[in-house]
Amino acid sequence: MASSSPHEPYVIEVNEQNFAAEVVEASDRVPVIIDFWATWCGPCKTLGPMLEKLAEQYGGAFKLCKVDVDQNQQLAGYFQVQSIPMVMAIYKRAPVNEFTGALPRQEVERWIESVFEAAGLPATPKAAEQAPTDPAAAEAWYRQKLGQNAEDSAARLGLARILMTRGEAEDAEALLHAIPGAAPEYGAALATLALKELVVEVGQAGGDAAVRERHSANPEDVDAAYLAALADGTAGRYSVALEVLLSQIQTGKAPVRERAKKSAQILFQAAGRGDAEIERLRRKLATLLY
């Protein structure tokens, strides 16, 4: 469940159900900092808000995931949390660095810088900026950003996604290929390239908001469920999307099965190898097909 923090979307409450999507998969795109805490922990009440403010200051360059150890004892055990607060950074699904205790802000800032250095990424704090939700206004906004700075990777990515959804794949791909490997948006650019067919399909159905509204209005609508799954998948929530698609492969009629199978294979390619939940779903697909 997403946090109700005013610092959204950079701060997420994570539990054992959404950990794979919000931490493991997200770390393919940006460094993920995990804050292990508890309501009874005094130092946590100092460190937690500090980390949230830094997440906002960095404007999405990293993602802060908060884990209540009392509510998620399995996660705490897996990461061998001995005392709290404990803070760990993960990038590309691998641990980068960690510390224990409520450090002063200056030391926390230096620690965050060391995480970016170890990941080979720039660590320039920036004010959080949000593109307009209307596609036409968002396109103009991204183009203005690129006019101010032609090397703005976030603007390249945002504009590419808009162009991709309306079928201008060649221009979108040119923008995505221009995003350098050291940019925080590089992982998202690769995923968008791999998922371009699904991005276009969601766009042709009216876009992310439209397909989710349709599914919410009629959860039993198989087509709506399929499109909502594609929306989840193109947003990087691979395991959520694949659960739906594998269910349709298992229970749907032939056209539904074939459509879900094709999209699932694209999502598996974008998700890559190594994540335990994705591998479980990959084995499940093999069982359904063979």
Residues assigned a catalytic role = 41, 44
* Maximum pairwise Cα distance, the chain: 60
Ranges of H-type helices in the chain: 19, 42-57, 73-78, 105-119, 135-148, 153-165, 169-177, 186-194, 196-204, 208-217, 222-234, 238-251, 254-271, 276-289
Helix or strand holding residue 11 (H, E): strand 11-13
Distance CA 106, CA 109 (A): 5
| Per-residue DSSP letter, 28 | G
Report the C-alpha gap between 158 and 172 in whole angstroms. Answer: 10
**Which amino acid would we find at residue 283?**
R
Contact 33, 51 (CB under 8 A): yes
Distance between CA atoms of residues 154 and 145, nearest Å: 9
One-letter amino acid of 152: D
DSSP symbol at 214: H
Q: Are 122 and 182 in contact (CB under 8 A)?
A: yes
Q: Which structure tokens are listed for 119?
A: 């990941």
DSSP reduced 3-state for 168 = coil
Give me the residues paired with residue 100 across strands: 86
